[in-house]
């Protein structure tokens, strides 16, 4: 009985020794038999470039023509369909928006406001304020269709010396039709004023010799070919010498 127990013990030890010699080393790779969490992909829409809108002043040939943009539905920065998208609903939406913007441009154009240059003190200091010359004439409008003359009765006229300051006003405001910022109050020390009479005749006395802008306004309606009453501004550059300078300040209308 004892010998049989020893036999079974030795047999068990042999089996254990044999299994220990045949043991394998198993390496587990990270990508095998393991659940790997897929990283979340976030799609970021590329930022659009910032578009700045500019008002192009006085038809500057270097900048182009003045443009007006929509107030309610600005078109700047909007993505335009390239033509590869078959979604017709998007195309119809953009066509409707463009149509509304065209109407807005007609109703609410952007006005042009121009900053006046700095008042040229030294330039005005060289001007004479008193003289011995006279400027005389008539102020009137002439209907281009009927040749009728509409005289400016009891209207204010003034002489504005030609300087860089008044030249900007003449080019930008009178010829360009733009609005300038408020004029420097010192300008009024160099202007000369007068009133026309019932026949449109006027006279300036004690005018220094030099170059001036002669300015006046006349109100006119149907007789000038207008559908309603309008105020017409008349401006003419004149040269004043010694004695009397005769000037007819007139403009053809409509």
Q: Where are the domains of the chain?
A: 114-253
**pLDDT confidence of residue 20:** 52
- Over 80: is that where the pLDDT of 14 sits? no
What's the confidence (pLDDT) of residue 2? Answer: 54
- What's CA 21's distance to the chain center, in Å? 91
Q: What is the pLDDT of residues 83-102, one digit of tens each?
A: 444 444 444 444 443 443 34
pTM equals 0.57
Q: Which residues face 135 on adjacent strands?
A: 204, 245
Alpha helices (H) in 110-233, listed in sequence order: 121-125, 164-168
Looking at residue 115, its pLDDT comes to 96
Fold (CATH) for 114-253: Immunoglobulin-like (2.60.40)
Cα distance between the two ends of the chain: 143
Q: For the ranges 66-70, 173-177, 218-222, 223-227, which has the lowest average pLDDT?
A: 66-70
The Cα 178–Cα 199 span in angstroms is 32
Measured between alpha carbons, how far is 83 from 173 in angstroms, rounded to an integer? 45
Here the tokens at position 36 are 């790997």
Mean pLDDT of 39-57: 45
d(CA 139, CA 218): 8
How far apart, in whole angstroms, are the C-alpha atoms of residue 73 and residue 43? Answer: 28
């Amino acid at each position: 009985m004892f010998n049989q127990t020893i036999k079974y013990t030795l047999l068990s030890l042999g089996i254990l020794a044999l299994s220990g010699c045949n043991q394998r080393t198993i390496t587990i790779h990270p990508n095998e038999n393991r659940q790997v969490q897929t990283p979340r992909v976030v799609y970021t829409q590329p930022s659009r470039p910032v578009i700045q809108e500019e008002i192009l002043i006085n038809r500057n040939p270097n900048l182009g023509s003045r443009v007006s943009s929509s107030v309610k539905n600005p078109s700047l920065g909007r993505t335009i369909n390239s033509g590869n998208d078959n979604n017709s609903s998007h195309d119809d939406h953009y066509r409707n928006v463009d149509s509304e913007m065209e109407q807005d441009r007609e109703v609410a154009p952007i006005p042009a406001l121009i900053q006046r240059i700095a008042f040229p003190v030294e330039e005005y200091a060289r001007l004479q304020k008193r003289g011995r010359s006279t400027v005389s004439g008539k102020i009137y409008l002439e209907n281009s269709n009927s040749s009728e003359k509409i005289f400016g009765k009891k209207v204010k006229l003034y002489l504005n010396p030609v300087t860089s300051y008044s030249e900007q006003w003449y080019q930008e405001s009178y010829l360009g039709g733009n609005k300038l910022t408020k004029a420097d109050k010192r300008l009024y020390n160099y202007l000369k004023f007068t009133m026309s009479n019932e026949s449109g005749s006027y006279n300036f006395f004690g005018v220094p010799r030099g170059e001036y802008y002669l300015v006046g306004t006349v109100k006119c309606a149907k007789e000038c070919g207008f559908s309603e009453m309008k105020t017409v501004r008349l401006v003419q550059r004149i040269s004043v010498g010694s004695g009397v300078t005769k000037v007819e300040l007139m403009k053809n209308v409509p």
